[in-house]
């Protein structure tokens, strides 16, 4: 048997479930496949920076596979509808009797993969879909009555006890060198070649599994111990920045959990607050993956709490444009939004502040913000982005209660106390004293007029009342 591995969101050779499954089946070698699918990427709002990161990661993967004598075919789907046929044709070209791939849980991807299964069955090619993107697979963390959890803390408790019951997280061994296939690897296009030219410098985001492993090792060496104290300060390098790697699978969550456990004296939860807290964040990622698996309606842009569909969102296009451009007059929001466009990434505290600001202060539909984030994030991932947006908008699972509204100025004073992050991204405010940098509208009149920075576009005094009125009587808060 010769087996083909279709790589999608598992762009690595270590701890790769599909690759190991294929190697176990194969007697006549393993062949890799990557499908370039620009129309699918466009309909899902993939950011150019994400496409660039993916393609650079696939290039690194091709080199790793070559060491195992596994060639990588690179095929393009002219339209996303064609992808299943492209996969089967590639398998045939390479003389493969089996196709193996890791599962993606989103609706479109599930439909596509079911079509691949049908085509394979018709062609008498073995097709195996395997779970890979979580340390504990969806469907394996359930309540006593076998229903999915919709609240994080009990989910996490059950996730930990499930891992402990299994004796810990286990990695797949990297397969041995495979039998020669005589199949040659194929060249990869660049992001610009397929219409996704990115303005974010590639050097900011080294790609591939070696880059991911060294980032994890460095984070565990230098920052994980202080993670709990430093994780909320965007001006500091307090978090791992592994989210792009987790999104495209250049690292697995199992590898992350094991590394954090090693920094935690072997435990998943203990008194070492840094690693314990970091593992918790990785479990948040699993929580949102499980939510999407059990409630695929979140892929359809529906609110998790159906009652909140009735909210009368504002259609203030000017305010939305100001938010996107970083011109709201709230420095922490503007700094974060400008950083997003330039670097393709945003710190978690800032994602919460900017999402709350859009959905509460401006009362603009979370779906618009979700889309803008997706169009700009290197780590854009439907389950995580949707989970984060619905949390912030108070429409989701275990969401922020609608009456607990972040004050962005207070958040700024607390988490960017010296305005380090603001000054970096809003240079107009670089020379202001700390007492004014979070809210330049407090400057005395004359000074205010010489600072070339917008007045706040919304009057905060009325925010709470407007939000309470919008959510009043919905029954979903």
Ligand X SMILES: Cc1cc2nc3c(=O)[nH]c(=O)nc-3n(C[C@H](O)[C@H](O)[C@H](O)COP(=O)(O)OP(=O)(O)OC[C@H]3O[C@@H](n4cnc5c(N)ncnc54)[C@H](O)[C@@H]3O)c2cc1C
Chain residues that interact with ligand X, rule: CB under 6 A: 231, 239-243, 246-247, 281-282, 284-285, 288, 347-348, 351-352, 355, 373, 377, 379-381, 384-385, 388-389, 392
Pairing of strands 98-102, 3-6: parallel
Least distance from ligand X to the Cβ atom of residue 91, Å: 31
Q: Residue 112 or residue 231: which is nearer to ligand X going by CB?
A: 231
Closest CA to 168 of 176, 177, 159: 159
Tell me the residue number closest to ligand X, measured at CB: 388
Least distance from ligand X to the Cβ atom of residue 287, Å: 7
Q: Residue 243 or residue 308: which is nearer to ligand X going by CB?
A: 243
Phi, psi of 181 (to 5 degrees): -115, -20
Tell me which residue has tokens 């600001």: 357
Phi, psi of 147 (to 5 degrees): -110, 160
d(CA 88, CA 117): 10
Q: Give kind and range of the element (H or E) at residue 129.
A: strand 126-130
d(CA 278, CA 228): 8
Is the CB of residue 163 less than 8 Å from the CB of residue 253? no
Q: Residue 77 or residue 246: which is nearer to ligand X going by CB?
A: 246
Q: Residue 59 or residue 243: which is nearer to ligand X going by CB?
A: 243
* Structural Rg of the chain based on CA atoms: 23
Closest CA to 139 of 16, 348, 268, 289: 289
Q: Residue 38 or residue 380: which is nearer to ligand X going by CB?
A: 380
Least distance from ligand X to the Cβ atom of residue 95, Å: 38
Phi, psi of 36 (to 5 degrees): -80, 120
* Strand-pair partners of 102: 130
Least distance from ligand X to the Cβ atom of residue 285, Å: 4
Is the CB of residue 388 less than 8 Å from the CB of residue 402? no
Q: Residue 150 or residue 243: which is nearer to ligand X going by CB?
A: 243
Q: In angstroms, what CA-CA distances link 113 with 107, 234, 380?
A: 10, 39, 21
Least distance from ligand X to the Cβ atom of residue 425, Å: 16
Is the CB of residue 70 less than 8 Å from the CB of residue 111? no
Q: Residue 99 or residue 163: which is nearer to ligand X going by CB?
A: 163
d(CA 156, CA 282): 10
Measured N-to-C along each axis, helices 348-356 and 382-393 cross at an angle, to the nearest 10 degrees, of 50
Pairing of strands 30-36, 126-130: unpaired
Q: Residue 114 or residue 218: which is nearer to ligand X going by CB?
A: 218
Helix (H, G, I), strand (E, B) or coil at 271: coil
d(CA 461, CA 43): 39
Catalytic (active-site) positions: 281, 284, 313, 348, 366, 389
Least distance from ligand X to the Cβ atom of residue 240, Å: 3
Least distance from ligand X to the Cβ atom of residue 399, Å: 11
Pairing of strands 98-102, 126-130: parallel
Least distance from ligand X to the Cβ atom of residue 175, Å: 26
């Amino acid at each position: 048997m010769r087996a083909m591995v279709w790589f999608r969101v598992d762009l690595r050779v270590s701890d790769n479930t599909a690759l190991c499954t294929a190697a176990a089946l194969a007697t006549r070698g393993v062949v890799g496949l990557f499908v370039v699918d620009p129309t699918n990427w466009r309909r899902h709002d993939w950011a150019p920076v994400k496409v660039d990161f993916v393609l650079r990661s696939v290039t690194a993967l091709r080199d790793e596979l070559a060491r195992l004598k596994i060639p990588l075919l690179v095929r393009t789907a002219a339209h996303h509808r064609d992808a299943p046929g492209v996969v089967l044709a590639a398998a045939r070209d390479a003389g493969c009797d089996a196709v193996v791939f890791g599962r993606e849980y989103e609706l479109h991807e599930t439909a596509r993969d079911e079509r691949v299964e049908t085509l394979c069955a018709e062609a008498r090619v073995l097709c195996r879909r395997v779970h890979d993107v979580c340390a504990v697979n969806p469907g394996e963390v359930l309540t006593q009555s076998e229903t999915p959890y919709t609240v994080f803390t009990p989910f996490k408790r059950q996730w930990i006890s499930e891992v402990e019951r299994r004796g810990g997280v286990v990695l797949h061994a990297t397969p041995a060198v495979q039998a020669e296939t005589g199949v040659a690897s194929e060249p990869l296009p660049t992001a610009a070649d397929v219409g996704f030219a990115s303005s974010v410098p590639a050097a900011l985001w080294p790609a591939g599994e070696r880059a991911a492993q060294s980032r994890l090792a460095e984070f565990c060496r230098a920052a994980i111990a202080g993670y709990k104290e430093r994780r909320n300060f965007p001006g500091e390098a307090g978090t791992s920045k592994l989210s792009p790697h987790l999104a495209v699978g250049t690292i697995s969550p199992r590898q992350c959990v094991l590394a954090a456990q090693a920094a935690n004296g072997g435990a998943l939860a203990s008194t070492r607050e840094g690693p314990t807290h970091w593992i918790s964040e990785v479990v948040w990622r699993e929580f949102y993956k499980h939510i999407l698996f059990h409630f695929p309606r979140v892929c359809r842009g529906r609110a998790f709490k159906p009652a909140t569909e009735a909210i009368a969102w504002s259609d203030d296009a000017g305010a939305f444009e100001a938010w996107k451009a970083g011109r709201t007059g709230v420095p922490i929001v503007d700094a974060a939004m400008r950083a997003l466009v330039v670097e393709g990434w945003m710190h978690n505290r800032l994602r919460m502040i900017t999402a709350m600001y859009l959905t509460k202060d401006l009362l603009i539909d979370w779906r618009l913000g979700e889309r803008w984030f997706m169009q700009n994030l290197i780590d854009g991932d439907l389950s995580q982005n949707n989970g984060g947006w619905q949390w912030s908008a108070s429409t989701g699972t275990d969401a922020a209660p609608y009456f607990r509204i972040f004050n962005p100025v207070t958040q700024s004073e607390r988490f960017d106390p010296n305005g380090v992050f603001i000054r970096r991204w809003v240079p107009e405010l670089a020379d202001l004293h700390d007492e004014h940098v979070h809210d330049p509208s407090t400057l005395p009149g004359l000074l205010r007029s010489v600072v070339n920075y917008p007045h706040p576009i919304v009057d905060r005094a009325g925010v709470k009342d407007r939000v309470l009125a919008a959510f009043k009587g919905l029954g979903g808060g």
